[in-house]
Amino acid sequence: MARVQLKFLSADEEELVHGQSIRCLEELGVMIRSPLVLKMLEDAGARVDRDRQIARISEGMVDEAVKNAPRGFTLCARNPKQDMKIPVSGTPYAATTGLANYMTDLDTGERRNATRSDLADFAKLADALDVVDFFWTVVVPMDVSDRSHAVHQLWTSLQNTTKHVQQVEVIDAEDARTQIDIAALVVGGREELRKRPIFSVVSSPVSPLSFEKGAAEAQVELSRAGIPIVSMTMPLSGFTSPVTVAGTMNVINVENLASLVISQTAAEGSPFVYSSAGVPADMRTGTVPSGAAESPPLAAGLSQLANRYGLPCMMGGWGLSNDTRPGVTMSLSEVISYGAEMFGAIDLTCGFGALDGAKGASLEQVVIDAFTWKNFRPCLRSMPVDEQSIAFDALRDVGHGGTFISHPHTLRNFRDSIFNRDEMVLRWEATRSREMVPEARAITKKIISEHKAEELDKGVLEKGDAIVTRYEKG
């Protein structure tokens, strides 16, 4: 099967980036603000400077981690029909945005803090939309304590979608253990969770080359429980990484390899996803530009490196508008950048519903982004290139100057070979405005009022509430 792919690095350039990344790990090392994780790495062969909290990681440790990491695995869901096997051979799986600080009210359009009820609506909407493959915990619920944000995000999400949940926040080892307990309760125990991980966790280094204590220790706990780690590094070129694409790519690769070593040292064979949301900074304003021209080559180069190591890959974000209100307001060049970013060999992407550079979120924007993705994703599908699809016999039958319109080969294959875009969505896209928002709002309200995810057992609900309550009380 063939798939359109964008490549950025030549073989020599790929080798150079890899070599420089190894040099960084061996000579500069990474800062890990956890004595426990430093000790674990030191026991495995890293050279550790305890005073500076630096771990220097050898090429041999990287090679061993790469060898031990699984080449593919399944991101499972409450409903097994929604399971996602990665890597993919065609269209990447797509999710909502995550960890927004605010949302726009569905009725008034006003900006406000989100609650657990809002998060439940986002999960319910994602559950109902076929084009949304898995669910990121979209907003931070502000009706609970700061300490319990992440636990409530996972528990609320699991109750309102049967799809895989990718948790976007974990505070420390205790928080990680509680999230594991909640998911284990839903699937029937920790061993069953190891077999069927219904959630995964985004664990982000702090660029450049630093891992926070809580996140690193949580990553160890999660890896040991068989929970997939998504190492989403997020440097900002010119601020937290060198300003060049190559320099940013190197920082991202170093951080992913260091994160891989942490996970594989904690638990050999634990599932791991190579990932990045790194972007260039707008040096005029210090903001994060949507659809930056450097994003497609950066994503393409990183997906090549992930493929080099045999690791599943998550990159980019679809529709991450810098606007603070719902709509389709991106310029042509930004749209082209977003589209091109998807043409790397990636397995997962995210971003539906994001506003304000992912600082905000909107329910109707989830619908707008999901529908436009539905119109775009056929460009990424795999297509057969074989004798049947080349159709020599059909060409011989039709002959010179003939027509294929009534040939049996056309009748058998046209539905799978030619994609017809949704006319309503094309109309939305053509306005480059907010004209589609009322229509999207109506669709959103209908889904939220009518759709209900398959409910958890009453006993599971009671026990899950008790786990969350115990955690809140400390």
Cβ contacts of 371 within 8 Å, gap of 6 or more: 131, 422, 424, 425, 428, 440
Cβ contacts of 449 within 8 Å, gap of 6 or more: none
Is residue 312 domain-shared with residue 393, that is, in the same domain?
Answer: no
Opening angle at CA 377, ends 371 and 378, nearest 5: 120
Q: How far is CA 188 from the centre of its chain?
A: 26
Is residue 372 domain-shared with residue 398, that is, in the same domain?
Answer: no
Residue 250 lies in a domain: yes
Which pLDDT band, with edges at 50, 70 and 90, does 193 fall under?
A: very high
Which pLDDT band, with edges at 50, 70 and 90, does 442 fall under?
A: very high
Looking at residue 119, its pLDDT comes to 98
> Whole-angstrom Cα distance, residue 216 to residue 135?
23
Q: What is the pLDDT of residues 56-65, one digit of tens each?
A: 999 999 999 9
Looking at residue 416, its pLDDT comes to 83
Strand order from edge to edge, sheet including 313-315: 93-96, 348-352, 313-315, 272-276, 229-233, 199-202, 165-167, 135-136
Q: Does residue 247 register a pLDDT over 90?
A: yes
- 353 close to 123: Cβ distance less than 8 angstroms: no
In SS3 terms, the chain reads as CECCCCCCCCHHHHHHHHHHHHHHHHHHCEEECCHHHHHHHHHCCCEEECCCCEEECCHHHHHHHHHHCCCCEEECCCCHHHCEEECCCCCCEEEECCCECEEECCCCCCEECECHHHHHHHHHHHHHCCCCCEEECCECECCCCHHHHHHHHHHHHHHHCCCCEEECCCCCHHHHHHHHHHHHHHHCCHHHHHHCCCEEEECCCECCCEECHHHHHHHHHHHHCCCCEEEEECCEECCCECCCHHHHHHHHHHHHHHHHHHHHHHCCCCCEEEEECCEECCCCCCCCCCCCCCHHHHHHHHHHHHHHHCCCEEECCCCCCCCCCCCCCCCHHHHHHHHHHCCCCCCEEEEECEEHHHCEECHHHHHHHHHHHHHHHHHHCCECCCHHHHCHHHHHHHCCCCCCCCCHHHHHHHHHHCCCCCHHHHHHHHHCCCCCHHHHHHHHHHHHHHCCCCCCCHHHHHHHHHHHHHHHHC
Is residue 317 domain-shared with residue 178, that is, in the same domain?
Answer: yes
Residue 20 lies in a domain: no
Q: Does residue 191 register a pLDDT over 80?
A: yes
Is residue 401 domain-shared with residue 361, that is, in the same domain?
Answer: no
Strongest mean pLDDT among 151-165, 370-384, 421-435: 151-165
Looking at residue 308, its pLDDT comes to 97
- 156 close to 141: Cβ distance less than 8 angstroms: yes
Looking at residue 334, its pLDDT comes to 81
Segment among 215-229, 245-259, 374-388 with least mean pLDDT: 374-388
User: What is the residue range of 410's domain?
Assistant: 387-417
CA atoms within 13 A on the CB side of 102: 12
Is residue 395 domain-shared with residue 344, that is, in the same domain?
Answer: no
Q: Does residue 418 register a pLDDT over 90?
A: no
Q: Does residue 212 register a pLDDT over 90?
A: yes
Strand partners, 32: 211
Strand order from edge to edge, sheet including 360-361: 111-112, 102-104, 360-361, 354-355
Residue 14 lies in a domain: no
- 153 close to 140: Cβ distance less than 8 angstroms: yes
Segment among 214-218, 232-236, 429-433 with least mean pLDDT: 429-433
> Whole-angstrom Cα distance, residue 349 to residue 376?
13
Is residue 297 domain-shared with residue 398, that is, in the same domain?
Answer: no
Q: Does residue 432 register a pLDDT over 80?
A: no
Which pLDDT band, with edges at 50, 70 and 90, does 18 fall under?
A: very high
Q: Is 453 exposed, middle or buried (0-12, 13-18, 19+ CB in 10 A)?
A: buried
Chain length of the chain:
474
Which pLDDT band, with edges at 50, 70 and 90, does 114 fall under?
A: very high
Residue 350 lies in a domain: yes
Average pLDDT, the chain: 94
Is residue 401 domain-shared with residue 367, that is, in the same domain?
Answer: no
Q: What is the pLDDT of residues 70-108, one digit of tens each?
A: 999 999 999 999 999 999 988 999 999 999 999 999 999
Residue 12 lies in a domain: no
Residue 85 lies in a domain: yes
Of the residues 399, 417, 435, the one at which a domain ends: 417
- What are the distances in angstroms from CA 48 to CA 66, 202, 262, 445, 470? 21, 26, 14, 55, 37
Looking at residue 368, its pLDDT comes to 94
Q: Which whole number is the average pLDDT over 449-461?
A: 96
Of the residues 380, 401, 428, the one at which a domain ends: 380
Q: Does residue 285 register a pLDDT over 90?
A: no
Is residue 95 domain-shared with residue 238, that is, in the same domain?
Answer: yes
Q: Does residue 286 register a pLDDT over 80?
A: no
Q: Does residue 2 register a pLDDT over 90?
A: no
Which pLDDT band, with edges at 50, 70 and 90, does 116 fall under?
A: very high
Which pLDDT band, with edges at 50, 70 and 90, does 195 fall under?
A: very high
- Angle of helix 295-309 versus helix 332-341 axis, rounded to 10: 0
Is residue 409 domain-shared with residue 296, that is, in the same domain?
Answer: no
Residue 409 lies in a domain: yes
Which has the higher per-residue pLDDT, 443 or 426? 443
Looking at residue 322, its pLDDT comes to 76
pTM of the model: 0.94
Looking at residue 304, its pLDDT comes to 97
- Look at the chain and report how many structural domains it folds into: 2
Looking at residue 281, its pLDDT comes to 78
Is residue 258 domain-shared with residue 222, that is, in the same domain?
Answer: yes
Looking at residue 75, its pLDDT comes to 98
Is residue 348 domain-shared with residue 397, that is, in the same domain?
Answer: no
Residue 365 lies in a domain: yes
Q: What is the pLDDT of residues 297-312, one digit of tens each?
A: 999 999 999 999 999 9
Is residue 343 domain-shared with residue 413, that is, in the same domain?
Answer: no
Cβ contacts of 12 within 8 Å, gap of 6 or more: none
Q: Which whole number is the average pLDDT over 275-289?
A: 81
Q: What is the CATH number of the domain that holds 174?
A: 3.20.20.480
